[in-house]
C-alpha cells in the first residue's frame, strides 16, 4: 500500500461545504487502498485576518506570539477536515505540527524544518487512519510554536512526503496545474504537463506563489514526486515536477514568466566608487535581518557611482531608516531614493542555456511596448528585470506572446 500526501490550500478549504468536498475526495483515495496523509491550510483569508488581529495589539508584533496566533488557522481546518472524514465513515485523526514533531529552527515566522519524527503518523496509518496534519507550522527544540512563512503548508506537505517516503505528494489548489505564467494575469497562459525541477525552483523563487520555494527545494533534495492539481476538477493529471535532464529533448527556450509585485527599490546616488562600499551599505541592512534581492552598482565616473538594491515592500521603510541613519553620512551619499511602485518580471527556461539572443528578444519586446527597464539581472536559466508596476500586465502579456508561450 502506498502512502500519498495530499495538500489542500486555503481556497480549497474556504467553507464547510468545501471542506466536505475535500473529505469526499480524500475518502475516494483512501477507499482505493492508499494510506493518506492530508495537509491543510487555513481557510482562505484567515491567516491575513489573524495577522491583522495581532497588529491591533502592537505595531510590530513579537514574532513568537505572532506564530502562536497565526498557527491556529490551520489547526481549525485540520480538526474540521478530520470531522468531515469521520462523518463519511472514515477513520481520521488531526494533529497540529508540533504534535507530529515537525521540528524547526528558531526563526519565528519563517522557520525551516529540521526534522520530522514520523513514527506517530506511521502508526496511525498502519492502524487504518487518515492522518490530517495542520500545515504551515512546527515547533523548535524548546517546544515554541513556529511557522514556516507564507505559503508554508506546501513545505509541510513535501517535507512529510519526504519523511514518510511517500509515493507522491499532491498539491491541490485553485488552478489545475502550473501554467506558463499566472493565469490570473494572462488568460492565454497555458497549462504545462510537466516542468523541470530547476525551472519550478526559479519560477517559485521569482514570485509564482503556486508553490512555496522551500517546498520545491525539499522536493529536489529528497526527490519527492510532486504534482500540482485542481481541488475543484475531478479530471486532469495536473503538472508533474520532473527531475530528468531535458538537455537533449525538444523544448521551448522560455518555459514560463514569473513576476512579483511586492518588492521595493532603494538607490544611493553619488557615493564614492571605492572598495568596501557595498559592504558598508548592505552590512547594516543584513544586520537588521532584511533580505536583499537584486543588487546593481553602476560603473563609476569621476570617482562617484550609484548603488541600487531591492527588498520586500514591507521592509522598505525599515531599510530607508537604516540607510538614512546609519549609512548616508558614512558613505557620503548625495541622495537616497526609494520606490515601491515597481515589479520584478522574470523569464525562465532551461532552454536558455543553449540559446543566444533570448535577452535581446526580451529587451526588444519591452522597448517596442515603450516599457522602461530600471534594473536587469541574469543567470543561466533566467533573466529578471525591474519595471514600473503599472506596466507589468502589458509586459507579461507581450513577452508571453513574443516567446510563443500560448503554443507551448
Q: Which residues bind ligand ASP (CB under 6 A)?
A: 9-10, 41-42, 47, 73, 135-136, 150-154
- Cα(139)–Cα(162) distance, integer angstroms: 18
The least distance separating Mg ion from the CB of residue 382, rounded to whole angstroms, comes to 21
Q: Which is nearer to Mg ion, 204 or 386 (CB)?
A: 204
Quickly list DSSP for 244-282.
Answer: S--TTS---S--EEEEES-EEEEEEEEEE--TTHHHHHH
At residue 396, φ and ψ (nearest 5 deg) are -65, -45
178 binds ligand ADP (CB under 6 A): yes
Contacts of 379 (CB under 8 A, 6+ apart): none
The least distance separating ligand ADP from the CB of residue 246, rounded to whole angstroms, comes to 18
The least distance separating ligand ADP from the CB of residue 127, rounded to whole angstroms, comes to 29
Choose among ligand ADP, ligand ASP, Mg ion, none what residue 174 binds, the Cβ cut-off being 5 to 8 Å by kind.
Answer: ligand ADP
DSSP run (H or E) holding 400: helix 392-402
22 binds ligand ADP (CB under 6 A): no
Q: How many CB atoms lie within 10 A of CB 334?
A: 11
Choose among ligand ASP, ligand ADP, Mg ion, none what residue 73 binds, the Cβ cut-off being 5 to 8 Å by kind.
Answer: ligand ASP
Q: Which is nearer to ligand ADP, 39 or 387 (CB)?
A: 39
**Angle at alpha carbon of residue 119, lines to 114 and 121, rounded to 5°:** 95
Choose among Mg ion, ligand ADP, ligand ASP, none what residue 152 binds, the Cβ cut-off being 5 to 8 Å by kind.
Answer: ligand ASP
170 binds ligand ADP (CB under 6 A): no
The 373-379 sheet, strands edge to edge: 256-260, 342-348, 382-388, 373-379
- Cα(210)–Cα(250) distance, integer angstroms: 26
Tell me the helix, strand and coil percentages in the chain, rounded to 5.
40, 25, 35
The residue sitting closest to ligand ADP, measured at its beta carbon, is 9
**Residues between 245 and 274 that touch ligand ADP (CB under 6 A):** 256
Q: Which is nearer to ligand ASP, 158 or 281 (CB)?
A: 158
Choose among Mg ion, ligand ASP, ligand ADP, none what residue 47 binds, the Cβ cut-off being 5 to 8 Å by kind.
Answer: ligand ASP
9 binds ligand ADP (CB under 6 A): yes
Q: Which is nearer to ligand ASP, 153 or 305 (CB)?
A: 153
- Cα(51)–Cα(53) distance, integer angstroms: 5
- Among residues 25, 115, 210, which one has the least CA distance to residue 4? 25
**Residues between 101 and 160 that touch Mg ion (CB under 5 A):** 151
Strand partners, 343: 387
Q: Are 131 and 95 in contact (CB under 8 A)?
A: yes
Q: Which is nearer to ligand ASP, 53 or 274 (CB)?
A: 53
- Cα(193)–Cα(57) distance, integer angstroms: 46
Choose among ligand ASP, ligand ADP, Mg ion, none what residue 175 binds, the Cβ cut-off being 5 to 8 Å by kind.
Answer: ligand ADP
Q: Which is nearer to ligand ADP, 208 or 346 (CB)?
A: 208
Q: Which is nearer to ligand ASP, 210 or 386 (CB)?
A: 210
The least distance separating ligand ADP from the CB of residue 176, rounded to whole angstroms, comes to 9
Cα 275 to the chain's mean position, in Å? 35
Which residue of 119, 184, 221, 247 would you call a contact of ligand ADP, by CB under 6 A? 184
Choose among ligand ASP, ligand ADP, Mg ion, none what residue 179 binds, the Cβ cut-off being 5 to 8 Å by kind.
Answer: ligand ADP
Q: How far apart are the first and last CA of the chain?
A: 37
Residues at the interface with ligand ADP (CB under 6 A): 9-12, 41, 151, 173-175, 178-179, 181-184, 208-210, 256
Residues at the interface with Mg ion (CB under 5 A): 9, 151
Amino acid at each position: 500500500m502506498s502512502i500519498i500526501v495530499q495538500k489542500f490550500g486555503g481556497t480549497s478549504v474556504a467553507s464547510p461545504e468545501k471542506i466536505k468536498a475535500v473529505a469526499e475526495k480524500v475518502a475516494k483515495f483512501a477507499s482505493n487502498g492508499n494510506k493518506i496523509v492530508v495537509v491543510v491550510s487555513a481557510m482562505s483569508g484567515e491567516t491575513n485576518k489573524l495577522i491583522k488581529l495581532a497588529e491591533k495589539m502592537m505595531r510590530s508584533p513579537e514574532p513568537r506570539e505572532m506564530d502562536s496566533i497565526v498557527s491556529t488557522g490551520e489547526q481549525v481546518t485540520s480538526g474540521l477536515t478530520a470531522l468531515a472524514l469521520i462523518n463519511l465513515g472514515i477513520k481520521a485523526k488531526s494533529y497540529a505540527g508540533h504534535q507530529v514533531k515537525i521540528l524547526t529552527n528558531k526563526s519565528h515566522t519563517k522557520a525551516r524544518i529540521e526534522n520530522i519524527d514520523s513514527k506517530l503518523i506511521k502508526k496511525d496509518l498502519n492502524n487504518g487512519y487518515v492522518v490530517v496534519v495542520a500545515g504551515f507550522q512546527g515547533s523548535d527544540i524548546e517546544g515554541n510554536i513556529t511557522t514556516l512563512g507564507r505559503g508554508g503548508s506546501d513545505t509541510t506537505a513535501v517535507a512529510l512526503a519526504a519523511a514518510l517516503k511517500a509515493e507522491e505528494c499532491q498539491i491541490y489548489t485553485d488552478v489545475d496545474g502550473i501554467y506558463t505564467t499566472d493565469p490570473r494575469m494572462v488568460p492565454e497562459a497555458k497549462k504545462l504537463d510537466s516542468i523541470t525541477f530547476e525551472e519550478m525552483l526559479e519560477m517559485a523563487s521569482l514570485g509564482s506563489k503556486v508553490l512555496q520555494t522551500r517546498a520545491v527545494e525539499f522536493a529536489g533534495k529528497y526527490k519527492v514526486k510532486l504534482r500540482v492539481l485542481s481541488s475543484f476538477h475531478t479530471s486532469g493529471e495536473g503538472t508533474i515536477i520532473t527531475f530528468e535532464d531535458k538537455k537533449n529533448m525538444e523544448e521551448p527556450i522560455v518555459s514560463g514568466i514569473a513576476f512579483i509585485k511586492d518588492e521595493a527599490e532603494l538607490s544611493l546616488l553619488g557615493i564614492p566608487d571605492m572598495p568596501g562600499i557595498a559592504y558598508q551599505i548592505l552590512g547594516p541592512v543584513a544586520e537588521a535581518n532584511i533580505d536583499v534581492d537584486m543588487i546593481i552598482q553602476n560603473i563609476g565616473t569621476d570617482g562617484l557611482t550609484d548603488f541600487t538594491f531591492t527588498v520586500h515592500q514591507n521592509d522598505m521603510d525599515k531599510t530607508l531608516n537604516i540607510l538614512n541613519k546609519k549609512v548616508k553620512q558614512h558613505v557620503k551619499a548625495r541622495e537616497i531614493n526609494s520606490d515601491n511602485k515597481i515589479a520584478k518580471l522574470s523569464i525562465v527556461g532551461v532552454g536558455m542555456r543553449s540559446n543566444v539572443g533570448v535577452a535581446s528578444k526580451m529587451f526588444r519586446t519591452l522597448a517596442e511596448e515603450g516599457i522602461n527597464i530600471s534594473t536587469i539581472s541574469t543567470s543561466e536559466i533566467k533573466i529578471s528585470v525591474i519595471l514600473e508596476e503599472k506596466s507589468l500586465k502589458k509586459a507579461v502579456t507581450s513577452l508571453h506572446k513574443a516567446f510563443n508561450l500560448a503554443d507551448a
